[in-house]
Amino acid sequence: MTTDPARMHSVTGDTTELVDLVLDYSRRRILATDTPLDKPLPESELRRLAGRTVSENGMGAERALAVFEHVLAPACITTDHPRYLSFIPTAPTKAATAFDLVVSASAVYGGSWLEGSGAVYAENQVLAWLASEFGLPATAGGVFVQGGTLGNLSALVAARDHARSERGNPAGRWIIVCSAEAHSSVASAARVMDVDVVTVSPGESGVLSGDAVRPALAEHGGAVFAVVATAGSTNFGIVDDIASIAALKDEFDFWLHVDGAYGLAGMLSPLARPRFAGVERADSLIVDPHKWLFAPFDACALLYRDPEQGRRAHTQHAEYLDTLTEATEWSPSDYAAHLTRRARGLPFWFSLASHGAAAYRDAVTASLLLARRIADEIDRRDGFHLVRQPQLSVVVFEREGWTKEDYALWSARLLDEQRAFVTPSSHAGRTNTRFAILNPLTTFEDLVEILDSMED
C-alpha cells in the first residue's frame, strides 16, 4: 500500500482536525482548576488499559489523544498540583505553560545566533536580569540548559579547563571540594569527568563554611580546581555560608561554583536575600526556573562570570560548524555540554516579560512566609518534631514514634486517596517527611489538613 509521503506534514482537513484536538485538550488542561493529583499505575495495568499503541498503520489522532487523556496522563502525578509537596515541585505560570506551546509551534532552534537570533536575544535578556539579581558583573552571561545536573557538569568542565590553562595538570588527580550534603549531581559530574570529590562535613547546622573548607584546600593544594557551594539544599533548603567560602579565593586559587538549582531564586525576596551574601563572587552558578521561578520543565539557567571561559571549554569544532564557530555572535551551544537545543528559556522570558519581576518577588516571598507559618504550627503540636527551622521553603519534620513503615503507609494512603503527595525522607539515619513549598496556590489549610491526617 502506497501513501503520500508528505501527508503527515501537509495542511489538510485531517491535520487541521488533529491540531484542533490537541489545542482543545491543552486549553482545557491549562485552565483546569480541579486537575487531580493522579498516581502511577503498574505496567501490567497500563498494558491492559492502553494496549498496543504503536502499529504499522496507526490508530488515528483522536484515539491516540483519548488514550493519553484517559489512560496515560492519569498515570503521571501532576507535579504542579498545590498538594504536590515532595522532592522539589514545579509550578509554572499559566503564561509560561501557554508559551511553551508557542515555542514548539514556531520550530525555533535555540543553538545559534544565525538560526535563532530573536530567541537568543530574549533568553539573554533574562540571563542578564538574573546575573544582575545575583550581583554578577554586567559582562556575565550563559545559557539555559536542560536541568541542574547538566548545568553543574558544564560549569565544572569549564572550571577544570580554566585550571588546566592557568596551571597545567596536577601531579595526581583533579579534585572538587563540596559539602557532604551537596546535591548528588556534583558526584555524578565528577564521575563523568573522572575527577575526585572531597566532601567536607558542614557540621550539625548543615551550613558549609569557609573554616570547614580551608583544611581541604590546604591539604590538596593545586589539585583543587573547584569548590561547590550550595544555595538551598534539596533536602533541607539550607544555604551554605557562601561569603566565607568566597573569601578563601583571596588565599587559594580555585573556581567557585554555586549550585542554586532550587534555592537561589530565594534572592528575589528581601526576606531571604541576606542569606546569599557572597554569591556575587561566584565564577559560575545555576538556578532552575522550572523550580522556584515558575517555568515548565525543563530549564536551568547557567551563568558564568566570564562567559569566554565557558565558550573556550565547550565550543564544538567541525567543518560543518565553521560558519557558526567563526562568527562573533552569541551562540548558546558554545556555553555548555550540548549542541542541539530548544529555546527552553523562552517560556520563562514570556512570563517574566508579561508579569514583571515584582510579581515573581511576591510569589517567592509568599512561599517563604507560608513555610515559616507551617513550621510554627508543627512546632506547637504535641507529637510532632521540627527537625530544623526552615531557611527557605522546605520544612522537615517528624511524627514522634513513627517508623519508616509508618511514614510509607501514610504517604501511600495520602496519594491513593488523592489528598496529597508527600513522601518520606531521612536525615542522619532517622526517617522524616518534608513539605517543599513552591506553588503559590498551596494554602496553609492544605498543609494543616495533611498534618491532621498524621493524627487520624
Q: What is the pLDDT of residues 64-115, one digit of tens each?
A: 999 999 999 999 999 999 999 999 999 999 999 999 999 999 999 999 999 9
Residue 58 grid cell: 496507526
* Interatomic CA distance for residues 187 and 195, integer angstroms: 9
| pLDDT over 70 (residue 2) | no
% of the chain at pLDDT higher than 90 = 95
| pLDDT over 90 (residue 121) | yes
* Interatomic CA distance for residues 47 and 114, integer angstroms: 45
More confident residue, 428 or 435: 435
* Interatomic CA distance for residues 235 and 426, integer angstroms: 9
Residue 182 grid cell: 551537596
- Identify residue 120 by its one-letter amino acid code: V
| pLDDT over 60 (residue 431) | yes
Residue 339, classed as helix, strand or coil, is coil
| pLDDT over 80 (residue 323) | no
When pLDDT is averaged across residues 248-259 and rounded to a whole number, the result is: 98
pLDDT number for residue 319:
73
When pLDDT is averaged across residues 439-454 and rounded to a whole number, the result is: 98
CB atoms closer than 10 angstroms to residue 48: 11
| pLDDT over 90 (residue 291) | yes
**Confidence at 271, pLDDT banded by 50, 70, 90:** very high
pLDDT number for residue 327:
77
**Confidence at 396, pLDDT banded by 50, 70, 90:** very high
* Interatomic CA distance for residues 259 and 229, integer angstroms: 6
* Interatomic CA distance for residues 370 and 438, integer angstroms: 10
When pLDDT is averaged across residues 130-159 and rounded to a whole number, the result is: 98
**Confidence at 133, pLDDT banded by 50, 70, 90:** very high
**Confidence at 324, pLDDT banded by 50, 70, 90:** confident
